């Protein structure tokens, strides 16, 4: 299995801050990376697919970048409603999907 | 509008079989463009993909769970089902069903159910 490592596990920031979360894969995943946002008591919600393609309705303050084994999710100007846990997921191996451990964003 | 709704017992006894159903509305589960799968999340922890099925019979499972899991589709009811055998306390989790686009660029999960908590008790 491809292991996905996220860091930091928790970050605290203020409204308006630029926030970056990193996801590292144990091998190159050719850009097959998605990001999800999960709020307390809710299901995860797809934010980004294929490294940088925003899902429909996702605010433009969210962006994704990276290649090979290292990827980042950036929130350009943190908003109160962005308080959540964020997960990355690789899908290079179509038959074995794996997630990062999550990053909790506190405001 | 696509909706996924999980249902099933919230409590399962250790060593027994966990059985859940996901009812899909707003789109036919027998379409060619999507896999339908299950993901779980132990309380306070991360996400674990369990497996996915394609209506034409292609099924894929997490290697760590393969021996204990069966995922199937009932196209007449537009439902997805999960069976996890010989459960232990480690199987206590919120179980989600989700849709996964098929094809060369698929593999992410673009729609999720609200999830159902299943507790395994001894």
Q: What is the pLDDT of residues A20-44, one digit of tens each?
A: 999 999 999 999 999 999 999 999 9
Chain A residues inside the 8 Å CB shell of B113: 43
Q: Does the distance separating the beta carbons of B47 and A96 come in below 8 Å?
A: no
How near does any CA of chain B get to the CA of A78, in Å?
23
More reliable by pLDDT, B45 or B58: B45
pLDDT digits (tens, 9 = 90+) for A60-73: 999 999 999 999 99
- pLDDT of A35 reads 98
Q: Does the distance separating the beta carbons of A91 and B108 come in below 8 Å?
A: yes
Residue of B nearest to A46 (CA): B110
- Please report which confidence band the pLDDT of residue A95 belongs to, taking 50, 70 and 90 as the band edges: confident
Lowest-confidence region among A18-27, B10-19, B51-60, B92-101: B51-60
Which residues 6+ apart lie within 8 Å of B23 measured at CB? B4, B5, B7, B77, B78, B79
- pLDDT of A47 reads 98
Mean pLDDT score of chain A, rounded to an integer?
A: 96
- Output DSSP code: residue B90: G
Return the exposure string of A5-40: e unless at least 16 CB atoms fall within 10 Å of the residue's CB, then b: ebeeeebeeeeeeebebbbbbeeebebbbbbbbbee
Q: Does the distance separating the beta carbons of A95 and B60 come in below 8 Å?
A: yes
- Please report which confidence band the pLDDT of residue A93 belongs to, taking 50, 70 and 90 as the band edges: confident
- Please report which confidence band the pLDDT of residue B121 belongs to, taking 50, 70 and 90 as the band edges: very high
By a Cβ cutoff of 8 Å, what residues of chain A touch chain B?
A: 1, 32, 34, 36, 42-46, 49-50, 55, 87, 89, 91-92, 94-102
Does A10 have pLDDT greater than 80?
A: yes
Does B54 have pLDDT greater than 90?
A: no
């Amino acid at each position: 299995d491809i292991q996905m490592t996220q860091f930091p596990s928790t970050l605290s920031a203020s409204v308006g801050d630029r926030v970056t979360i990193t996801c590292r894969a144990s091998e190159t995943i050719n850009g097959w990376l998605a990001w999800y946002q999960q709020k307390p008591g809710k299901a995860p919600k797809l934010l980004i697919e294929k490294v940088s393609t925003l899902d429909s309705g996702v605010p433009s303050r969210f962006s994704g970048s990276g290649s090979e084994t290292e990827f980042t999710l950036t929130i350009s100007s943190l908003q109160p409603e962005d308080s959540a846990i964020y997960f990355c997921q690789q899908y290079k191996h179509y038959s074995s999907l794996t997630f990062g451990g999550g990053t909790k964003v506190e405001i | 509008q696509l909706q996924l709704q999980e249902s099933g017992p919230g409590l399962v006894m250790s060593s027994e079989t966990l059985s859940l159903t996901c009812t899909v509305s707003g789109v036919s589960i027998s379409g060619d463009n999507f896999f339908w799968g299950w993901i779980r999340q132990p309380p306070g922890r991360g996400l674990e993909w369990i497996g996915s099925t394609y209506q034409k019979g292609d099924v894929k499972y997490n290697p760590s769970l393969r021996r204990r899991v069966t995922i199937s589709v009932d196209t007449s009811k537009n439902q997805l089902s999960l069976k996890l055998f010989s459960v232990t306390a480690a199987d206590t989790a919120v179980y989600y069903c989700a849709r996964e686009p098929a094809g060369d660029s698929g593999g992410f999960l673009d729609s999720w159910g609200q999830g159902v908590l299943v507790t395994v008790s001894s």
